[in-house]
Amino acid sequence: MENPLTPEVLADPVALTRALVDIESVSLNEKAIADCVEEVLRGVPHLSTHRHGNTVMARTDLGRSQRVVLAGHLDTVPLNNNFPSTMRGDLMYGCGTSDMKSGTAYALHLAVTLPDPRYDVTYFFYEAEEIESRYNGLNLVAQAFPEWLEADFAVLLEPTYGIVEAGCQGTMRSVVTTTGVRAHSARSWHGVNAIHAAGEVLRRLQTYEARRVTIDGCDYREGMNAVRINGGVAGNVVPDRCEIEVNYRFAPDRTPAEAEAHLREVFAGFDLVVTDAVAGAPPGLEAAPAKEFLEAVGAAPIGKLGWTDVARFAAMGIPALNFGPGDPNLAHHPDEHVEISKIRDGAATLHRWLAPA
């Protein structure tokens, strides 16, 4: 295949977005797109380029006092009659237009066209963000070559509709179990109904008042929800067991351990097992490059409510935020699209921030 990422395409973030969208790259099928990106970057004299699996990293080494990361994932969710891309007026439709090849295009465009950025820059084009963590390119690099990730600040180019979404909330899954005693439902007074006992668990969830936490001016709104319930033996048996799965989304001022302690407080008296937890990330807007980035954007940041890879950077002590042209509400949507004007605005913002002073 001839590389569609020609110099003319690389010079224009819109054309580049479209070219990236038109290389199919559903998770675990990123080889073709990674090959194209790698070939381009190896030809750029001001970058040193490395590859691990289907993750490509390129960096400047200009001896600047600060280093920033621009990172975009190469993969998309499965196609949904939305490949290749199509144009309708100011809108580009197609799988990955919003999440997040328009953002990834920024990193590739800047890597090629900006030989003398204000900071040293490490550009990441990584695989398998949309699936389990064990495949995630950033996660694999963090294990194999943690030094590749060293930086003072990171921008993850996920869709935020052109504003800064800082940090992210943590998430914890747990199972609350109620128990009882089985009996024939015709003589139910011999038993204890575990599903009835779950009523108190649900009542606590229903009356729960979720916190709103403000950190560095960013609002994080927590939520605690039953997401699944499981109980019952047969149509004529008083059940002896009921399980309520509870998902707690917590603000980044709480560690997973503190989140668990809080869950145990809420469900005091019940059996509770935590099945899965990931820490959130504080907004991290105090680093000098972050402040300058906010100035370039010129709009107030908001808190990121979902979990994103910024938390991986935060876990390594690197402040990180999300910034991209796509509408996050359209990510994974069959009508996924991105506005051409938003792509151009965001590219101008990144230029203002990174161009030499």
Q: Which residues are catalytic?
A: 75, 129
> Least Å distance between CB 222 and Zn ion?
23
Stretch of 97-105, 177-185, 194-202, 246-254 lying at the interface with Zn ion (CB under 5 A): 97-105
Q: Which is nearer to Zn ion, 99 or 165 (CB)?
A: 99
Residue 167 tokens read as: 């940090």
Q: Which is nearer to Zn ion, 27 or 174 (CB)?
A: 27
Q: Which is nearer to Zn ion, 102 or 174 (CB)?
A: 102
100 lines the binding site for Zn ion (CB under 5 A)? yes
Task: Name the residue number minimizing CB distance to Zn ion.
Answer: 99
Q: Which is nearer to Zn ion, 142 or 210 (CB)?
A: 142
Stretch of 30-38, 54-62, 93-101, 276-284 lying at the interface with Zn ion (CB under 5 A): 93-101
> Least Å distance between CB 63 and Zn ion?
33
- Nearest 10 degrees: Cα torsion 302, 305, 307, 310: 10
SS3 per-residue string spanning the chain = CCCCCCHHHHCCHHHHHHHHHCCCCECCCCHHHHHHHHHHHHCCCCCEEEEECCEEEEECCCCCCCEEEEEEECCECCCCCCCCCEEECCEEECCCHHHHHHHHHHHHHHHHHCCCCCCEEEEEEECCCCCCHHHCHHHHHHHHCHHHHCCCEEEECCCCCCCCEECECEEEEEEEEEECECEEHHHHHHCECHHHHHHHHHHHHHCCCCCEEEECCEEEECEEEEEEEEECCCCCEECCEEEEEEEEEECCCCCHHHHHHHHHHHCCCCEEEEEEEECCECCCCCCHHHHHHHHHHCCCCEECCCCCCHHHHHHCCCCEEECCCCCHHHCCCCCCEEEHHHHHHHHHHHHHHHCCC
> Least Å distance between CB 74 and Zn ion?
10
> Least Å distance between CB 23 and Zn ion?
16
Q: Which is nearer to Zn ion, 131 or 210 (CB)?
A: 131
Q: Which is nearer to Zn ion, 231 or 324 (CB)?
A: 324
User: Number of residues in contact with Zn ion, rule: CB under 5 A?
Assistant: 3
> How many CA atoms lie less than 13 Å away from 1 in the CB half-sphere?
11
14-53 positions binding Zn ion, by CB under 5 A: none
127-166 positions binding Zn ion, by CB under 5 A: 158
> Least Å distance between CB 304 and Zn ion?
12
| Residues making contact with Zn ion (CB under 5 A) | 99-100, 158
